Amino acid sequence: MSVILKADNIVKHFYEPEKFQVLKGISFEVNQGEFLALVGKSGCGKSTLMYVLSTMDTDYEGSLIIKDTVLTNKSQNQLASFRNENIGFVFQFHYLLPEFSALENVMIPALKLKRLSRTEIEEKAYRNLEMLGLKEQALKKVTKLSGGQQQRVAIARALINDPAIIMGDEPTGNLDTINTQIVFDIFRELAQERKQTIIAVTHDDDFAKNCDRIIEMKDGQIVR
């Protein structure tokens, strides 16, 4: 298996209200097609680490490599372009645009990337929604969908540019047990069938223990 992400000695400080070290030399690798859970108590640094891994936080020491590209010290414009092409995001809150349909929401990252024509993007968005059991809901405004359906639309959107990695920050945090299982099964299938790499921050023990690997953090360090 090829290494898709490598974090090497990531150190991060917060400076308000006083200097505080939140990440203390984090190093690990993630392989292509791996489904990884990042766990630990609130305040352990896992969400901070996720923001570094996602390239949204650039104020750290150490190095981050994704898809053989060194991302440390790149400009914000370079990182934004890399993110849109290579990283899909699924958050606890879906962040869908309420004035648009499910289909339009899924299309947005691909329209920004401008790699395909609008027709091709629309066809691909339909395919993603169909894969997630949402083809019948494609033209509905997202405000008319249930919470579980909205989260599946967010997953379809995260997949539209065929990213190297999907990063989930509590992706099932707002869902009931049934929808949590549906989202987990989707991630599992993406990892196994499409060799999609998934890194998910979670507080859900059942979710974590069914992943390929768990990285547990405590006080800014990896403890297992």
The pLDDT score that the predictor gives to residue 135 is: 87
Residue 182 binned pLDDT confidence (cut-offs 50, 70, 90): confident
Rounded average pLDDT over 172-189 = 84
What Cα–Cα distance (Å) separates residue 155 from each residue in 1, 130, 159, 201?
Answer: 24, 12, 6, 15
> What is the C-alpha separation between 202 and 208, in angstroms, rounded?
7
Rounded average pLDDT over 193-208 = 89
The pLDDT score that the predictor gives to residue 43 is: 84
User: 2 vs 179, which has greater pLDDT?
Assistant: 2
Q: E strands within the chain?
A: 3-14, 20-31, 35-39, 61-66, 69-70, 87-91, 165-169, 197-201, 213-218, 221-222
Read off the pLDDT of residues 118-162 as tens digits, 9 standing for 90 and up: 999 999 999 889 988 888 989 999 999 988 889 889 989 988 988
Residue 1 has pLDDT above 80, yes or no: no
Q: Token pair for residue 118?
A: 């609008």
The pLDDT score that the predictor gives to residue 53 is: 93
Question: Tokens 């849109």 appear where?
Answer: 84
Rounded average pLDDT over 5-29 = 92
Residue 170 binned pLDDT confidence (cut-offs 50, 70, 90): confident
The SS3 of residue 20 is: strand
The pLDDT score that the predictor gives to residue 126 is: 93
The SS3 of residue 127 is: helix
Read off the pLDDT of residues 87-128 as tens digits, 9 standing for 90 and up: 988 877 778 898 999 999 999 989 988 888 999 999 999 988
Domains of the chain: 35-44+76-222 (3.40.50.300)
The pLDDT score that the predictor gives to residue 100 is: 92
The pLDDT score that the predictor gives to residue 67 is: 92
Instruction: Give the residues across from 86 on adjacent strands.
Output: none
User: 117 vs 183, which has greater pLDDT?
Assistant: 117
> What is the C-alpha separation between 9 and 104, in angstroms, rounded?
40
The pLDDT score that the predictor gives to residue 193 is: 85
> What is the C-alpha separation between 77 and 121, in angstroms, rounded?
23
Read off the pLDDT of residues 41-85 as tens digits, 9 standing for 90 and up: 888 888 899 989 999 888 999 999 999 999 998 999 999 889 888
